[in-house]
Structure 1
Amino acid sequence: MGRYLVANRNLNAGENIIQESPVAIGPAANSEAVCLGCYIPVKLSLSQYRCSDCKWPLCSADCRGIGHVNGHTEYECKFLKEKNSAVDLIATATLTKIKHLYELILPIRILLMKTHKPDSYERIRVMESHIKLRKLNKILWDHYQEIIVNKLLKEWNLEGFSEEDIHTICGVIDVNCFEIGQKSAKARAMFPSAFLLSHDCVPNTSHTDHPETFSIMLRTSKRIKKNEPITLSYAYTLQGTFKRRDFMHAGKLFWCQCERCSDPTELKTDCSALVCAECSKGSVRSIDPLDQDADWKCDNCAYKLGAKSLESLLDKLNNELESIDPHNVAGLEGFLKKYQNTLRPNHYLFLSAKYSLCQVYGRIDGYLIHEMSLEDIKRKEKYCRDFLTVIDVLEPGLTRLRGLIMYELHAPIMVLSTRLIQNKLITRNDFQRNIKEVARLLRESRDILKMEPEGSNEYMMGQAAEDALKGMGMV
């Protein structure tokens, strides 16, 4: 496992264990044009405000990140100006070229620290880079050689660094950075101690970041016993094992072998299982989830599916789902119906579609909560319960995703119960039981979401949960 952190005492759920500012920060991976000060999206048009010296786009002359350690510093500006680096940042630039230019920013900022912030540079240099393993990965190595190393050394004539120095920094970023950002601002950052947490696909901590300072706040999501490793997830929790392990190997260069990854049922959630294409009754799962090349086999008949065929199917369905606007109710519902005989109900692609539907039902025109039909209200409730059942296993405890889905779940239960009692379709006892569940969901949602930074969408939802409890007289 390398270096990792353990609890030196019993920790209760909800304890803050790390709160720190970034030691380095830059635009997110695959970033399109963003402000170098605050990381909100910007345009490349002639009307977009730009730095008067280096000519890189900024959101405005008043951006809080201009001259700030977490934004567009004077020494960065001088370097970018000397290299005439903004010459390709024009409205007609290809998206690939734009992304490659923005991918340079964080490595440049770290390399410039060697002169301007040597203490910070050394703190980053001690982080794991997996440089030996990266050299063995030709695709990965050549990617960074072309868009980072050659650009800096051959085109921009950066002095004082070797090719291996730059590759090492690229490795440190890949292995240790956190994707951060609230609302529209998206960035990636390095933190002085948070990088030490080891990975688990069912982590025991939850983290968030401040929408303005980008400082990270990491807290326990469930009870952690003394000497137990403190973990977080390096991947998106609601992704199936095959894709999740592949993602981590591509960026972090290790194959996860945690309890969830080792179990073909993913701790009985079955969020990777397929419907058997031959008998339609069985579930198709990997015969060895720790082997990416293993066959997938039906538990009811002799049907098998090769790993390459599985990957092709998942990519096809994922691309189709991503092409659907997350506010398109008919499109999302159509996806669920179209593949109900292909994917099991808890499959991660279905969970993604259901999560979007949980959020849009009750919130957009044509589907506002008090205007929805009973069928749509019941559908929202079912999707919320389906989602919560899986989250309770994969992200248990005081986790943001649980808080959000519990808040979404309270509304359909409340509205449906009110309509049914008004029409004398349920008893008073049934109604009271439902109201108690609503109150429980709101309390737990409030307790989770009000731990998020003030001003964040999650914090405001937690406040809305508290206000709802006050309106019910159940604070």
Structure 2
Amino acid sequence: MPNNKRSKKHKRKNHCDKNNDSTGNLADLSSNEDDINIMNEDFEKLKLQVDKPYQVKYSEIYGRYLVTSRDLKKGEILIETDALVIGPCAESLPICLGCYVDLVIVPRKYQCPDCGWILCQQNCPGIHTQYGHTVWECQSFKEHKLASLLLKCDEKDIRFMYEAILTLRCLLLKQFNHEKWTKINEMESHNKLRRNMPSLWNRNQELIVDRIRHQWGYNQYTEEEIHTICGILEVNSFEVGSNGFRARALFPEAYLICHDCQPNTTHTDDPLTHKLHLRSTVPLKKGETITLSYSYTLQGTLKRRDHLHESKFFWCTCNRCRDPTELGTHASTLICPKCTNGFILSTDSLNQNAEWKCKKCNYKVSGKSILILLDRLFDELEVLDPNSIKDYEEYLKRYANVLHQNHYLMLSVKHSLCQLIGRSDGFLINELNLSQLERKEQYCRDLLAVVDVFEPGMSRLRGIICYELHAAMMMRITREFERKTINDNQLRRTLREIVKLLQEANEILKIEPVGSSEYSMALAAQDALKKMGNI
């Protein structure tokens, strides 16, 4: 995700200084057809500029950032833009450089007949296209014999080789697409900050800079240029892809969006066109700062801020980070071991080393001890069988007296359970007993209550939870109706709630890319609404 722009000093280009002496008189216009076409193109560009729902602002704290230029409804598109460049993620598994499908799952590989690089198939739709294995990339790989180097790599080095590909693609734009190269170099690299992080800087020097210049032979690029591109990618790239492919990309304009741990926008990327679509998730007033979360919203403040500092090079000070209760959700709160019913909170949530204290009995814990505990509980969670409902539910019981029910580790477990219960072998939705349905419903409600605060409005996660909650409720009342344990009023009230959940799930998820699991949920929600009719 892009970075919070705290040190940007770039100036905007003036796109509207042509024809300043024009009188606006029709008689002054040339009758030349080419001139008319150029005028029409300029008009369309000007119209697009005027109609943009955002404008660029500048501050000493944030640098350049985006605000709304008019009032917006929830779900309105703010930015729709093509990628500047796409390529493998950091430490990527081998993927097709044409379509980005995971090569591990491809039964038979195909070698490009020109450069010899391994692709997914002869008819890969990304061969010799601007967002895939371009003609100039193919020629360059052939000249530098990169495919032969790939064959000599061990499994670990292959990952680093793929990681360096996107950096090289950016560098090749300097020669083959200067307009894109210029736009990319307008982005922040935070070189000064990154130089003071030896582990990161030295890693890039060894695995990317030296690889591109010496091992691959692209010594026309300076070390500074390559480090700058590394920084631009680390700070500004978006993860893209779904259903079998994963990559990262740079987009114009979108990189100027500020971070907030309670964002007011969401984004999708089209796997076919590689366009980025950024939408408002809630109504926005004119002049509001447009925000996006660069971190996982269902993460506690300590870990979230640490991630942002390590990956985006700033300490977040948003309203959520300032509040030890995380806007009243208690997503980082621990249960006091001394008085057993008090809440332990950070005494200063903007200080990673601050002491933690029980609000009831004043029992104190050092910040270091809290981090050790969180790491231990996270490690324990990571080794659980990801498909075991039993293991996850035992984790919830085991730490019910240690972690608040809304603690981010508990939410992570509940998130998994929301999707496992009703979709796993032996636990399909129509196989669940009443107790299991009630538990699934409660997990969904617990999760939704927190997500409503962290990702209000039309967020993808809210849409998914709404759909999962409706499924549990529908099957529950079916069971209760069969047992005659629900009266007519309860039935109607529950059905009305189910309809609202389906409507919300459909509204949110229908904008997801066609073919994605989320889009399939939207179609299922639409179908369910049709079957339910007017309730």
Question: Shorter-chain TM-score: what band?
Answer: over 0.9
- The equivalent of 1:270 in structure 2 is 330
- The equivalent of 2:217 in structure 1 is 157
- The equivalent of 1:170 in structure 2 is 230
Tell me the CA shift for residue 363 of structure 1: 1.4
In 1, distance between residues paired with 2:373 and 2:91? 24
For residue 31 of structure 1, give the secondary structure of its aligned residue in structure 2: coil
Gaps spanning 5+ residues in structure 2: where? Answer: 1-61
Tell me the CA shift for residue 137 of structure 1: 1.5
- The equivalent of 2:366 in structure 1 is 306
AA partner of residue 166 (structure 1): I
Higher deviation after alignment, 400-409 or 76-85: 76-85
CA contact (8 A) 2:325 2:345 kept: yes
Is 2:390 aligned against 1:330? yes
Tell me the CA shift for residue 469 of structure 1: 0.7
- The equivalent of 1:9 in structure 2 is 70
In 2, distance between residues paired with 1:379 and 1:90? 51
In 2, distance between residues paired with 1:134 and 1:121? 22
For residue 137 of structure 2, give the secondary structure of its aligned residue in structure 1: helix
Is 2:122 aligned against 1:77? no
Over 3 Å counting, the alpha-carbon distance change for 1:306 and 1:50 in structure 2 is farther
Q: What are the residue-to-residue correspondences of 1:282-301 with 2, within 5 Å?
A: 282-301=342-361
- The equivalent of 2:411 in structure 1 is 351
In 2, distance between residues paired with 1:215 and 1:244? 28
Aligned with residue 49 of structure 1, among 102, 107, 110:
110
Tell me the CA shift for residue 159 of structure 1: 2.9
In 2, distance between residues paired with 1:285 and 1:32? 40
CA contact (8 A) 2:92 2:163 kept: yes
Is 2:31 aligned against 1:31? no
Over 3 Å counting, the alpha-carbon distance change for 1:334 and 1:49 in structure 2 is farther
Aligned with residue 225 of structure 1, among 271, 276, 285:
285
Aligned with residue 525 of structure 2, among 451, 456, 465:
465
For residue 168 of structure 1, give the secondary structure of its aligned residue in structure 2: helix
CA contact (8 A) 1:417 1:431 kept: yes
- The equivalent of 1:196 in structure 2 is 256
Is 2:271 aligned against 1:211? yes
In 1, distance between residues paired with 2:106 and 2:147? 13
CA contact (8 A) 1:36 1:65 kept: yes
Aligned with residue 67 of structure 1, among 120, 125, 128:
128
TM, length-normalised to structure 2: 0.85
For residue 255 of structure 1, give the secondary structure of its aligned residue in structure 2: coil
- The equivalent of 1:367 in structure 2 is 427
Tell me the CA shift for residue 369 of structure 1: 1.1
- The equivalent of 1:141 in structure 2 is 201
Higher deviation after alignment, 286-295 or 386-395: 286-295
Higher deviation after alignment, 336-345 or 118-127: 336-345
Rg larger in structure: 2
Over 3 Å counting, the alpha-carbon distance change for 1:154 and 1:382 in structure 2 is same
AA partner of residue 450 (structure 1): K
For residue 284 of structure 1, give the secondary structure of its aligned residue in structure 2: strand
In 2, distance between residues paired with 1:89 and 1:378? 53
Higher deviation after alignment, 109-118 or 409-418: 409-418
CA contact (8 A) 1:45 1:90 kept: no
Gaps spanning 5+ residues in structure 1: where? Answer: none
In 2, distance between residues paired with 1:406 and 1:45? 34
- The equivalent of 1:420 in structure 2 is 480
Tell me the CA shift for residue 335 of structure 1: 2.0
Over 3 Å counting, the alpha-carbon distance change for 1:129 and 1:74 in structure 2 is same
Is 2:172 aligned against 1:112? yes
In 2, distance between residues paired with 1:396 and 1:25? 30
In 1, distance between residues paired with 2:106 and 2:98? 18
Give CA deviations for 1:55-97 in whole Å, capped at 9, x if unaligned.
3321111111111111111222233333333445459823x32
Q: May I ask how many residue pairs the two structures share in their alignment?
A: 474
Tell me the CA shift for residue 368 of structure 1: 1.1
In 2, distance between residues paired with 1:393 and 1:2? 28
Tell me the CA shift for residue 302 of structure 1: 3.6
Is 2:511 aligned against 1:443? no
Over 3 Å counting, the alpha-carbon distance change for 1:176 and 1:70 in structure 2 is same
Higher deviation after alignment, 458-467 or 413-422: 413-422
Tell me the CA shift for residue 45 of structure 1: 10
CA contact (8 A) 2:106 2:120 kept: no
In 2, distance between residues paired with 1:56 and 1:304? 58
Q: What are the residue-to-residue correspondences of 1:171-186 with 2, within 5 Å?
A: 171-186=231-246
Over 3 Å counting, the alpha-carbon distance change for 1:29 and 1:442 in structure 2 is same
Is 2:375 aligned against 1:315? yes
Higher deviation after alignment, 134-143 or 438-447: 134-143
Over 3 Å counting, the alpha-carbon distance change for 1:48 and 1:259 in structure 2 is same
Aligned with residue 19 of structure 1, among 76, 80, 84:
80
Higher deviation after alignment, 132-141 or 101-110: 132-141
AA partner of residue 157 (structure 2): K
Over 3 Å counting, the alpha-carbon distance change for 1:466 and 1:46 in structure 2 is closer
In 1, distance between residues paired with 2:106 and 2:269? 31
For residue 34 of structure 1, give the secondary structure of its aligned residue in structure 2: coil
Tell me the CA shift for residue 264 of structure 1: 0.3
For residue 68 of structure 2, give the secondary structure of its aligned residue in structure 1: coil
TM, length-normalised to structure 1: 0.96
Tell me the CA shift for residue 307 of structure 1: 2.6
In 2, distance between residues paired with 1:238 and 1:55? 43
For residue 207 of structure 1, give the secondary structure of its aligned residue in structure 2: strand
For residue 4 of structure 1, give the secondary structure of its aligned residue in structure 2: strand
Q: CA RMSD in A?
A: 1.9
For residue 429 of structure 2, give the secondary structure of its aligned residue in structure 1: coil
CA contact (8 A) 1:275 1:281 kept: yes
Higher deviation after alignment, 126-135 or 336-345: 336-345
CA contact (8 A) 2:334 2:404 kept: yes
CA contact (8 A) 2:238 2:250 kept: yes
Is 2:309 aligned against 1:254? no
